[in-house]
Amino acid sequence: MKEKIIIFDTTLRDGEQALQSSLNTQEKIEIALALEDMHIDIIEAGFPISSPGDFKSVQEICKKIKNSTICSLARCIDKDIEIAAQAMSQLKNFRIHLFLGTSKLHIESKLKKNFQEIKDMAIRSIKYAKKYTDDIEFSCEDAGRTSIDNLCAIVETLIKNGVKTINIPDTVGYTIPNEFSKIISELFIRVPNIDQAIISVHCHNDLGMAVGNSICAIQSGARQIEGTITGIGERAGNTALEEVIMAIKTRKKMLNFFTNIKHHKIYKTSKIISKICNISIPINKAIIGSNAFSHSSGIHQDGIIKNRKNYEIMSPKDIGLKNIKFNLTSRSGRAAVKNRMQEMGYTEKDYNLKTLYKKFLKLADRKGQIFDYDLQMLAFIKNYSKKNLHIILKNISFSSQSLNQINICIQLFYNNIIHKAKIHTKNGIVNGIYKSLQKITKINFLLKKFKIKSIKKNKKIWEKVYIIAKYKNEIFYGKNTSQDIIQAFTQSMIDILNNIIQFNEIKKKIKNN
């Protein structure tokens, strides 16, 4: 029979500690609601004693969350426990999460005590916390470096005193999977009352082993995993919960566990957290990275076309994504090009695959990635070239009369004549350029996203701009590099406009045919 693994999320506590600036109450509520919607079992809402802001955030989260259990962190100090309980007092049921160092290093150098004093502190704080709730979790901080004799002794003591969840943290990400697995196994062998509590694990990723350690721990008897969505947290971060959750789902026959998580909410939740916390998700991040379900190799693309299981162990739909389009590059084969043309509604009667593929490889070598509009133009415009530009930037200048007023003047060569646009804006240079280009071309496109990256080349600083825009339900891309950031941004926008114009031409040609 499958056993449930409890998912404990600490994005709002441990995760927030890693951010450059604190989240406000509304941002924390939005994250908490997303976690609840994903069916996270326990949400660690904060560390209320740490600041009035954190106390208020925990209070407000308690008003909004109806299904997940709310938990607050507290040191083994009476005031910490009182404040944590006050922050959650409007709830009938809540959890207080106590923590105390148990390794020799922490006991002697940080806490300046001996092991017996640590046990006494733990017992006293548990009794005090039980005045407010029966749901107490206790973390043996730095358990990964605590002697097994001491760890077994304190775990037995904690359970005797009514702790329902014992957390065994690898606080500094020091252990490796077989070592951490042995620690958990030893607890189940040597602690006589271990069956009276849930063993939890909270692994950090300093050596890149957090997920591996967590999986090994549940195989050895742990039934709660703590971590964060995307793995954010102190230093190298925490266990990435989306990886653990999908490992349990994907390898269910081997692991024989389940979670209550709504898997199709994973991607949406990760995007919400990424946006609010202002952290980018690496493209190669397992499960939620933009490359996690993308395929560039021609061999892989051909295998995916024949059967997605050839190169995908899970479906993008499992985490709430639609099927991902192939990255069409010079490494892509004929099968991928043909498949993409079919997805756009074309058959081989509409174009010559051999001719198209030759053109495709030439353009891919120059441009890198080929998009849908490139492919259509290669297939249906006889002499298509990126050199055939409809719009050319002739000049751009701007001045500022005040902090709130910017004047922008753009000159473009468009439709065989020079056009000039002057814009006065209070919304910044980017908005001004965007409006100026729309005014001249009458092309209403939506600026979706842009990124700016500074790079050093030949002892000079260059600005690389990458833009994503939407026009008639199609996505268009523009990029440019210049020492002048305004020039780079404007030229990137013009690249998009040229692509849109050529896209409209090909659509018109196809329609007339």
| The CATH homologous superfamily of the domain defined by 3-277 | Aldolase class I (3.20.20.70)
Rg (Cα) of the chain, in Å, rounded? 29
Q: Which residues contact 388 (CB under 8 A, 6 or more apart)?
A: 502
Q: What pLDDT, on a 0 to 100 scale, did the predictor assign at position 399?
A: 78
Q: Which residue has the tokens 């084969």?
A: 333
> Which helix (H) or strand (E) is 401 found in, with range?
strand 391-402
CA pair distance 315, 309, nearest whole angstrom: 9
3-state helix, strand, coil in the chain (%, to 5): 45, 25, 30
**DSSP per-residue codes, 23-40:** --HHHHHHHHHHHHHTT-
Domain boundaries, the chain: 3-277, 298-380, 391-512
Looking at residue 382, its pLDDT comes to: 66
pLDDT of residue 390: 82
Task: Give per-10-residue mean pLDDT for the chain (513 aa).
Answer: 94 90 93 98 97 96 97 98 98 97 96 96 98 98 97 98 98 97 98 98 97 98 98 95 97 95 96 93 90 75 78 88 76 84 80 86 81 79 63 83 74 86 78 84 86 81 87 84 86 88 78 66
391-512 shares the fold of 3-277: no
CATH number of 391-512: 3.30.160.270
Predicted pLDDT at 267: 94
- Give the distance from CA 288 to its chain's centroid: 6
Q: What is the pLDDT of residue 370?
A: 81
Contact call for residues 451 and 466 (beta carbons, < 8 A) = yes
Q: What is the DSSP letter of 324?
A: P
SS3 343: helix
- Encoded tokens for 419: 């056009």
Give the three-state DSSP class for 144: helix
Q: Within 10 Å of residue 102's Cβ, how many Cβ atoms?
A: 28
Q: What is the pLDDT of residue 78?
A: 97
Question: What pTM, to 2 d.p., does this model score?
Answer: 0.82
Tell me how far apart the alpha carbons of residues 55 and 46 are, in angstroms, rounded to a whole number: 8
d(CA 267, CA 315): 12
